[in-house]
A and B are shown apart, each in its own frame.
Chain A
Amino acid sequence: MSKQEWLIGTRMPRVDSEPKVRGEVQFTADIKLPRMLHAKVLRSPYPHARIKSIDTTAAAALPGVKAIMTGQDTAGVKWGVFRYTRDQQLLPVDRVRYVGEEVAAVAAVSPEIAAQALELIEVKYEPLPAVSDIWESMADGAPQLHDDHPNNINVHVAIEVGDVEEGFAKAHLVREDVFTAPEDSYFMTEPYAVVANPRPDGSLELWMPNAAPHQKAKALSNALVMPLNKVIVRKVAIGGAFGGRSDVFPAEFITAFLALKTRRPVKLVYTREENSVATRQGHALFTTIKTGVDAEGRVLARDITCYMDGGAYSSTGPIATSVPFLCMEQTYRLPAVRYNGYRVYTNKPIGGMIRIHGRAFAGGVDLQLDMMAQELGLDPLQVRLRNARQPGDTTPTGSYVQSCALSQCIQQAAEAAGWADKYGKLPPYHGIGLGTNSVQTGFPLGIRGGSQAMIKFNEDGGATVMSGVVDNGQGNDNMLVQIAAEVLGLDPGHIQLISADTEATANDPGAYSMIATFAGGNAVLAAAEDARRQIFEVAAEALEAHVDDLVAQDSKVFVAGAPDKGLPVGKVIRMALIQGRPVIGTGSFTPKVDHRREWLSNPAGQLSETFSFGASVAEVRVDPETGMVELLGLWLAQDCGRALNPMVVEGQFEGGAAMGGVGGMLREEHRWSDTPRCLNPTFLEYKVPLACDMPPIENIIVESMDPTGPFGAKEAGMSIAMSAAQAIIGAVSNAIGAPVYDYPLTPDRVLRAIRAKQDGEKQS
């Protein structure tokens, strides 16, 4: 990458933005096919019950109803991300485990008739005792959700590296604190939807918001017992994911099953409430953190025990239970660390990965460091810098860190925010805080961990790029086109993209765990370089030049410095066709990870080829009467490796700060009835940030130029979503002069912390 890039690093408008502003892109619910039926799902009103019988006779007799399915039709086929976590029947046969779980489904000629038919299905339940929280659930004698998991412990991640007890013994200061947060949700603007269309050739095509078309296809191929090449997940516009579209849901199985049964297209569109309750939610967390530091604030040992409320089924359980720890061990140097993570079953909706997964984990780690810095009379900024991960380090569980500019992120964010003039110098109830975090670019995914891309050309010099990478809204389509256009010297408008269509595209790990740019981008980069080499070989003969001296730019190939004597790419393509050497570029990228690493049995070895790092600073004012937090500013710095498109990267920062920081740390939480039933599944009751809630934001892009990322890129924005939340905790605690342990920082929680401080002062 020695040459100066012409398109990489520019604020190129996204290729998908014009169809989106025209309202012409199709999301799943917009799809309309001839003879299409509409599906609706009957859901459990009980948090825990045995299904004694289901009578569908009356529903089936309703005119317009074309098919009904219950668990009895499905042989109890199960889903789970891992072989050892397959605990969810895609349609339960005899038992339901949360309010909202799927019980039966109907396909009818209209959504109204399908809904009417649901009311005619008679289900006899035998209610069973339910558990609402992790403590109740883990108690001896509690109702057991799954037979093979005593005390309802779904997952236990146990990690221990170094001598933790020795570290505590040597420490100058040791603290132990507990941090908590309830469930939160994605609230992507597009509610979940699926369309399934059986085709005359025996294949089944499907559209749904997804974060990995190839993974969805594989799961459905298993569940439907169909060959993988007959289960086709198509490209569709996707209205956000944030971790909530990564898993496989009963919705696609139900829609596919009804379509195959009726031999007609079927569409299922979730309501907002269904999207909240019956896809995934963030986990509730209860985290105990014990840290020992030396007199300079260097961490010598840390011991963390975290309980996560996982809801009724495993989902991504082993990953979800590990990731908050992994982010922490990447962020900070830790000579000795112990982690016990427990994911606990309860009779609640299923917990999944979310953008700010672990707010009561990462937030606790940072706040505790601030408290210890204060006790030692140190500046928290210096303490962070003393513990910050450095390039060339190896994490406790054995990942080599090949690029890292965390210290620069911390310094630049602090400088931009005016930390030196503000920390400890602001008036009462006015505070400043710092958050730091790191995320992975992918996990070991075995045979599905690599991405493969292909580029073909037409005789007019236009190219078609094929890649399995999916775009959830973050700009992946543009990322692929921008990389290909850069290498091939083509205008982005001359590149047609076929992506995320499992019939056409080769494997790709998906757009989750922040892997899309690193794996998918690298695969397209390799394919484009392969195609360019073939183009240069043909052109070199015609131009009587050496391949190494050629340049591709402005749709021409020419000898460097002599653009006037160049050949149009279209002409080179036609020459290649006549010569019987057509240009087809292929490329693949498989991240270098340790495939022996396993979430539970062997949490050691290279987790991800590279990691991103971020630091955020928040400044707040707190109203001591009401507990209301006013955000005065956010300064966001991230080492994204290289900003392929700074405008897109900034959008990721700003969106991450809104969801993770402003929403995730100041207001977002689910509330529950005693049943337990989710009390706020819709936008009216669950408060996400609005335009008027956002503070001024300063974006600081830090480029560490990763040695193996495409043009040096890693991932954009994820470590901001998390560090912004951590920064707000620090700022609020700094403002009120007391730590706040329970999140999000709603007025009642902030007031409690202020009162606790005042009570403590009275007593002393």
Chain B
Amino acid sequence: MSLAIKSQGLRMTVNGEPVELLVQPHETLLQVLRERLDLTGVKEGCGEGACGACTVLVDGLARRACLTLALEADGCSVLTVEGLADDQGLSIEQQAFIEAGAVQCGFCTPGMLLASHHLLEQNPRPDEAEIRRHLSGHICRCTGYAKIVEAVSNAAARKRGEEPS
């Protein structure tokens, strides 16, 4: 078959675990995470980088997994929604999303959470406009964004050791 191009080795760390596998050069990070590693928390909403549902962090930077070739992540550390919680429980962002009612259908939630995590790593004290701007690469059709923005604001406060206002 014409598609049978030579596979190449890919080594990366996914949610803290080392991963080594052979991939085709045209395989996207989204395909590898979802189909090879069964990390189906990474969602495909559009396949063209418009909706943000497939967002993962690659070496701490938010990337559209659908527009990222898997081999681009070679040697990198990848964080998906499945890696946000640890043995201690949910992350502060996850807890804040639950408490604020920021989750409806849940399809955009993984991308929103990773974008929020990314924002708060960069800026521990974002104002509402900054939160809205940072989340504007992510489409949510259910919530109208109000409770997501509230959740991120609450998570930021909690991460700073303050009580959400």
Contacts and interface: CB of A to CB of B under 8 A. Distances in A.
B80 A23 contact: yes
B15 to A, nearest CB: 11
- Which of A271, A654, A659: most chain B CB closer than 10 A? A654
Given A18-B90, A240-B142, A647-B101, A27 B41 contact: no
B98 A21 contact: yes
Nearest to B140: A189
A691 B116 CA distance: 13
The 6 closest A-B pairs by CB, nearest first: A23-B41, A473-B105, A20-B106, A654-B144, A239-B107, A23-B81
Interface in B1-57: 1, 3, 34, 38-48, 50-51, 53
B145 A691 contact: yes
Interface string B148-162: 110000000000000
Contacts of A190: 43, 45, 105, 107
A191 interface: yes
Given A32-B38, A112-B3, A682-B48, A655 B104 contact: yes
Nearest to A657: B144
Interface in B87-112: 90, 94, 97-101, 103-110
Contacts of A238: 105
A272 B47 contact: yes
B82 A22 contact: yes
Given A190-B105, A473-B106, A21 B144 contact: no
A189 B51 contact: yes
26 contacts: A13-B99, A22-B85, A112-B3, A189-B107, A189-B142, A190-B45, A190-B107, A191-B45, A240-B107, A242-B141, A271-B47, A272-B51, A474-B104, A474-B142, A651-B142, A654-B143, A655-B142, A657-B144, A659-B141, A683-B139, A684-B48, A688-B139, A690-B138, A691-B132, A693-B136, A697-B144
Interface string B107-136: 111100100000000000000000111011
Interface string A692-705: 11100100000000
A694 B128 CA distance: 12
A667 B99 CA distance: 32
A692 B133 CA distance: 6
A697 B106 contact: no
Interface residues of A, number: 60
Given A20-B106, A23-B82, A690-B135, 16 more contacts: A14-B103, A21-B98, A25-B106, A26-B40, A186-B141, A188-B107, A189-B108, A189-B142, A190-B107, A191-B46, A239-B106, A239-B107, A647-B147, A658-B144, A682-B48, A691-B148
A299 B62 CA distance: 56
A49 B8 CA distance: 46
B144 A187 contact: no
A16 B144 contact: no
- Which of A13, A239, A659, A688: most chain B CB closer than 10 A? A239
A691 B107 CA distance: 16
A29 interface: yes
Q: Is the interface of A mostly helix, strand, loop or mixed?
A: loop
A472 interface: yes
Contacts of B90: 18, 21-22
A473 B142 contact: yes
- Which of B140, B145, B147: most chain A CB closer than 10 A? B145
Given A271-B47, A473-B142, A651 B101 contact: yes
Interface string A257-279: 00000000000000110000000
A160 interface: no
A17 interface: yes
B48 A272 contact: yes
A349 interface: no
- Which of B34, B42, B53, B136: most chain A CB closer than 10 A? B136
A11 interface: yes
A21 B45 CA distance: 17
Contacts of B100: 647
Interface of B: 1, 3, 34, 38-48, 50-51, 53, 80-82, 84-85, 90, 94, 97-101, 103-110, 113, 131-133, 135-149
Contacts of B39: 23
Contacts of B107: 27, 188-190, 237, 239-240, 473
A475 interface: yes
Contact of A472 (B105, B140, B144): B105
B139 A20 contact: no
A385 B7 CA distance: 70
A30 interface: yes
Contacts of B138: 690-691
Given A20-B109, A189-B105, A691-B136, A650 B51 contact: no
A444 interface: no
A693 to B, nearest CB: 8
A240 B98 contact: no
A126 B82 CA distance: 51
A20 B82 CA distance: 10
B85 A651 contact: no
Nearest to B98: A17
A648 interface: yes
A147 interface: no
A690 B136 contact: yes
B137 to A, nearest CB: 8
A22 B41 contact: yes
B50 A683 contact: yes
Nearest to A188: B141
A682 B108 CA distance: 16
B89 to A, nearest CB: 10
B104 A692 contact: no
B142 to A, nearest CB: 5
Nearest to B83: A23
Contact of B144 (A11, A25, A647, A694): A694
A29 B90 CA distance: 25
Contacts of A13: 98-99, 101
A92 interface: no
A475 B107 CA distance: 14
A434 B100 CA distance: 29
Given A23-B81, A23-B82, A242-B141, A11 B101 contact: yes
A277 to B, nearest CB: 14
B62 to A, nearest CB: 15
B44 A655 contact: no
A279 to B, nearest CB: 14
A473 B106 CA distance: 7
Nearest to B24: A112
A17 B149 CA distance: 16
Contacts of B84: 21-22
B141 A688 contact: yes
Contacts of A375: none
Given A21-B94, A691-B135, A692-B133, A656 B144 contact: yes
Interface string A39-74: 000000000000000000000000100000000000
A242 B44 CA distance: 19
Contacts of A689: 144-145
A192 to B, nearest CB: 12
Contacts of A658: 141, 143-145
A689 B103 CA distance: 17
B148 to A, nearest CB: 7
A186 B135 CA distance: 21
A24 interface: yes
Contacts of B3: 112, 116
Nearest to B111: A189
A479 to B, nearest CB: 13
Contacts of A648: 101
Given A20-B106, A475-B104, A656-B144, A692 B136 contact: yes
A671 to B, nearest CB: 17
B120 to A, nearest CB: 15
